[in-house]
């Protein structure tokens, strides 16, 4: 996992979002600083996650498995 990447919760959202380079994968949110609590990883299947972010993360991981052999 790259620095500044992972799942985090925002006070103005009811779901967790996956952030990379300060932007949520769903495109709805931006962060101007890394969260104080840090990012979480390995919670990709949680029902509390944003559905759009979850789909993109799982799709990217599936593609990585296919290309790595």
Domain count, the chain: 1
Give the per-residue pLDDT at 69. Answer: 65
Handedness of CA 44, 41, 17, 60 (dihedral sign): negative
β-pair partners for 1: none
pTM above 0.85, yes or no: yes
- Per-residue pLDDT in tens (0 to 9) along the chain, 69 residues: 445 899 999 999 999 999 999 999 999 999 988 888 889 998 999 999 999 999 999 999 999 988 876
Tell me the residue range of the domain where 27 lies. Answer: 5-68
């Amino acid at each position: 996992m790259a620095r500044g990447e992972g799942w985090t919760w925002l006070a103005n959202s009811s779901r967790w979002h996956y952030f990379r380079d300060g932007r949520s994968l769903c495109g709805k949110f931006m962060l101007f600083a890394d969260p104080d609590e840090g990012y979480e990883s390995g919670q990709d299947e949680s029902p509390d996650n944003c559905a759009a972010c979850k789909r993109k993360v799982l799709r990217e991981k599936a593609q990585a498995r296919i290309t790595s052999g």
